[in-house]
Amino acid sequence: MPLLRRLQRVPGRLSRQLVVLFFTLLSLFPVYFMLVSALKSKADYLANKFNLPPHPILDNFQTAFAGEKFLIRFANSAILTIGAVTASLVVACLAAYAFARMQFPGKRTLFNLMLSLMVVPPVVMVVPLFVTMVRFKLVNTYQGAILIYIGLLLPFSIYMMTNFFQTIPHEIVDAARIDGCSNLGVFTRILMPLSAPAVITLVVVNALWVWNELLIALIFLQRDEMKTLMVGIASMRSRIYVDIPATMAGLLVATIPIVVLYIFGQRYFIRGLIGGAVK
């Protein structure tokens, strides 16, 4: 009887496996397409768009790097990402410390207000921000764009760090305080070193967000030598003559940092991105 029941379950399991496999392959296909096309010559690409490259070549990367000021854009994206992620981390941790470990009037209201900013779409802020940035001559500067990114990253960052600081046992903090630690001392010597996993998670998620961001970069960094990688990519489609394999090589280089980071730090991505939704 158990064997029979197990056999009966086989078709069900198999069909489930097939369903999941189908959607997994679908998820992967664009990445596969990017990878194989980047290694094909134009003729090979036109002859067959699906197969593995019959004669793999690296020329496309050379073409991609040569055109479109690729390296400058890559550097711009990196500068913005590093700047915004670092600054927002410091500012967010300080604020989170106050939210998690201090009492002050209006704390709950302030925290909820900040939470609500977490899902405000950037698009509604770009018009007034642009008007303001023009007045302060911050359009087409790293500082201007980084400032906006910091603001947009802060709500989620403060939320996450507050939640994490609250999980650190009060006893540890109290012990440090008895040993004569000041508030700042508790923060820099106790809380921060204990928060490494949360900090890594936050850095990963925020870096991903800034690296991938298009709208702010498009509007606030319009001058050619200030453009980011994503803005460069977005403008590729509108060109009349398109070298698809070279474009794919460029896309691959823009995407690879994320994929590599994800493969090595999967749990940080998952924890960070679903952060707060599930405990």
Residues 6 or more apart whose CB falls under 8 angstroms from that of 96 comprise 157, 158, 160, 161, 162, 164, 165
> Does 121 interact with other proteins (rule: CB under 8 A)?
yes
> Does 2 interact with other proteins (rule: CB under 8 A)?
no
- Closest contact distance (angstroms) between CB of 196 and other proteins is 20
> Does 146 interact with other proteins (rule: CB under 8 A)?
no
Amino acid identity, position 196: A
> Does 155 interact with other proteins (rule: CB under 8 A)?
yes
| Interacting residues with other proteins between 62 and 101 (CB under 8 A) | 90-92, 94-95, 97-101
Q: Which is nearer to other proteins, 198 or 248 (CB)?
A: 248
Q: How many CB atoms sit inside 10 A of residue 17's CB?
A: 10
- Closest contact distance (angstroms) between CB of 108 and other proteins is 6
> Does 114 interact with other proteins (rule: CB under 8 A)?
yes
- Closest contact distance (angstroms) between CB of 172 and other proteins is 13
| Interacting residues with other proteins between 16 and 35 (CB under 8 A) | 16-17, 19-21, 23-24, 26-28, 30-31, 33-34
Q: Give the span between the Cα atoms of 238 and 232, in whole angstroms.
A: 11
> Does 226 interact with other proteins (rule: CB under 8 A)?
no
| Interacting residues with other proteins between 186 and 225 (CB under 8 A) | 208, 211-212, 214-215, 218-219
Q: Give the span between the Cα atoms of 273 and 265, in whole angstroms.
A: 12
Residues 6 or more apart whose CB falls under 8 angstroms from that of 83 comprise 142, 146, 149
> Does 49 interact with other proteins (rule: CB under 8 A)?
yes
> Does 126 interact with other proteins (rule: CB under 8 A)?
yes
Cα–Cα distances in angstroms (integers) from residue 103 to residues 99, 122, 127, 178, 240, in the given order? 8, 31, 37, 20, 61
Q: Which is nearer to other proteins, 30 or 54 (CB)?
A: 30
Task: Give the range of 11-19, 59-67, 78-86, 188-196 binding other proteins by CB under 8 A.
Answer: 11-19
Task: Give the range of 53-61, 68-76, 160-168, 194-202 binding other proteins by CB under 8 A.
Answer: 160-168
> Does 249 interact with other proteins (rule: CB under 8 A)?
no
Q: Which is nearer to other proteins, 4 or 124 (CB)?
A: 124
> Does 162 interact with other proteins (rule: CB under 8 A)?
yes
Residue 275: phi, psi to the nearest 5?
Answer: -45, 130
